[in-house]
């Protein structure tokens, strides 16, 4: 099987996470995971539920995107274009999957990150519309937090985040928000 990314070398038998049989490229270090191998391996893993903490973990992972990640590729088994699912990180990357045979392609380092985040046992979930919507929301939230830190400094920003969390969880949280709004608009009009 030829490597779908660098196209210059043949994929060779290898394993991931000790017992998942895959085909790896020695040139670009990408990995092809045949659908049946993945399904078989996945059925032997204990299920893990994901929560929104994923984004916080994800943002702290240090990762250098493979130069091959942005390159489109054809399935090495059935030659269909691989579709992409974005995985959120400070530096995002894409996991690719064949829409026909459901085989999965990970560029160099991507499997390790998925494993670190506990997403490696539910890769197919990354391709659902629901997951992708959640990723966009989390990304928006993380941009907003970053902008808040830049405007307020990290110390005050942390306070704001803490207060925000508490107000969000409180049944009368909107009263707190209204109070803050009044404080800020009064001081602006006086100043
Ligand atoms: Zn390659
Ligand atoms: Zn395919």
The structural domains of the chain, with segments of one domain joined by +, span 12-133, 153-190
101-130 as b/e, with b when 16 or more CB fall inside 10 Å? ebbbbbbbbbbebbeebebbbbbbebbeee
How many whole angstroms from 71 Cα to the centroid of ligand 1?
Answer: 11
How many whole angstroms from 38 Cα to the centroid of ligand 2?
Answer: 13
How many whole angstroms from 184 Cα to the centroid of ligand 1?
Answer: 56
Strand partners, 81: 74
Please report the beta strands in the chain, taking only residues with DSSP state E, as ranges in sequence order. 12-16, 20-24, 31-33, 83-87, 93-97, 104-106
How many whole angstroms from 95 Cα to the centroid of ligand 1?
Answer: 15
What's the average pLDDT block by block, 10 residues per block, for the chain (191 residues)?
91 93 95 97 78 57 78 93 83 90 95 87 89 81 90 95 94 95 83 56
| Total-model pTM | 0.74
């Amino acid at each position: 099987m030829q490597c779908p990314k660098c196209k210059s070398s043949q994929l060779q038998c290898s394993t991931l996470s000790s017992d998942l049989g895959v085909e790896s490229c020695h040139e670009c270090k990408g990995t092809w995971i045949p659908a049946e191998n993945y399904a078989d391996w996945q059925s032997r893993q204990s299920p893990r539920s994901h929560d929104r903490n994923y984004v916080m973990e994800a943002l702290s992972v240090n990762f250098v995107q493979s130069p091959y990640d942005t390159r489109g590729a054809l399935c090495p088994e059935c030659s269909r274009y691989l579709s992409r699912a974005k995985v959120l990180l400070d530096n995002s990357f894409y996991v690719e999957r064949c829409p026909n045979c459901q085989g999965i392609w990970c560029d160099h380092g991507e499997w390790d990150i998925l494993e670190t985040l506990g997403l490696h046992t539910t890769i197919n979930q990354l391709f659902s519309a629901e997951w992708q919507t959640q990723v966009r929301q989390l990304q928006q939230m993380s941009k907003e937090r970053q902008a808040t830190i830049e405007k307020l400094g990290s110390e005050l920003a942390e306070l704001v985040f803490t207060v925000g969390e508490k107000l969000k969880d409180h049944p009368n949280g909107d009263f707190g928000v209204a109070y803050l709004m009044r404080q800020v608009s009064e001081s602006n009009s006086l100043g």
